[in-house]
Structure 1
Amino acid sequence: MTRRWVTYTAAAVLLLVLGAIMVVQFAGYQDRQDQREAEQKAATLHAAFAEIGITAFDEETIARVLGSDGGGFCTDPAALVDATANLGSTNGAAGPGIRPSVLDERRLAGDRLVIETYCPDQLEAFDDYVDSLRLDDTTTQPGSQPAPEEAP
């Protein structure tokens, strides 16, 4: 009876150790797959940025920040883009001195490229948001009124 108990215990411990090794190996495999996918998407995005004239971070930085799924950018791109558009389209002053500034349309194009690369299912919502902006020569603030035309 004692021999069987020792044998069964040894077999159980061996199976647990093998199971733990398999889990660690599988997790490492998943990480490598995610890393490859992140690097491929980062290379695609970096090339697209260069194509439209945006100086981007290096591919390794893009891969670390956005990962393989777009990270925080794809969690809620409308809110993120809205916040960055509102912050990026002001003069940097605080209080009463704050006023809208011209927003470089390449930044919106860059945001669109990120969404196109990492979360294309949210591209339509992003396009709807950009269409809601009143982009003219003086401002890009959402809902802002165009400058009144001068009377002749």
Structure 2
Amino acid sequence: MRRNTTGAAASLVVLTLSLLTACSSAGSSAENDKAARFAAKVNEAGVGPEMTPRIAKSLYGNDGGAICAALKDNPAGLLLGWGRGTLTATPEEHADDLIAYDRYVVKVYCPEQLDTFEDLADRLNR
């Protein structure tokens, strides 16, 4: 009887590990897909340094990192990244490339925030 209990426990452990691995792989796969899409878009547009999926994954994970977080919590905080302290400050020379780069982050990692992003970018061009 002990053998059946041990076998059942071992089967339960194997099943649990299999499910955890499957869930982890699915998450990693989605993260890898986003990273690959982002790298391809940025490289094609030429708006940033050469990007690889590995670098994109380390910078943005699966949620877009600080850029998407700023859009949710404090959209005006992106102005500092774009070289402005306020809407009336003089933009940095490469602000257009920075905004284009960030737009790809938003499109890939947090597309639900795209309207907020575009509103902020439009305010800069007024």
Aligned match for 1:125, one of 111, 116, 120: 116
Percent of aligned positions that are identical: 20
- Residue 150 of structure 1 corresponds to none
Query: Which secondary structure does the structure 2 equivalent of 1:86 belong to?
Result: helix
User: Are 2:45 and 1:52 equivalent residues in the alignment?
Assistant: yes
Q: Which has the higher contact order (CA 8 A, sep 6+)?
A: 2
Question: What TM-score comes out, normalization by structure 2 length?
Answer: 0.74
Aligned match for 2:68, one of 46, 69, 74: 74
Runs ≥4 residues deviating over 6 A: none
Question: What TM-score comes out, normalization by structure 1 length?
Answer: 0.63
Residues 32, 57 of structure 2: 8 Å contact kept:
yes
Where structure 1 has 5 or more consecutive residues not aligned to the other structure, the ranges are 1-6, 92-98, 137-152
Q: Which amino acid aligns with 1:127?
A: E
State the structure with more CA Rg.
1
- Residue 108 of structure 1 corresponds to 99
- Residue 62 of structure 1 corresponds to 56
How far does residue 45 in structure 1 lie from its aligned partner after superposition?
Answer: 0.9
How far does residue 76 in structure 1 lie from its aligned partner after superposition?
Answer: 4.2
CA RMSD across the alignment:
2.7
Aligned length: 121
Q: Which residues in structure 2 correspond to 1:77-96 (within 5 Å)?
A: 77-79=71-73, 82-89=76-83
Where structure 2 has 5 or more consecutive residues not aligned to the other structure, the ranges are none
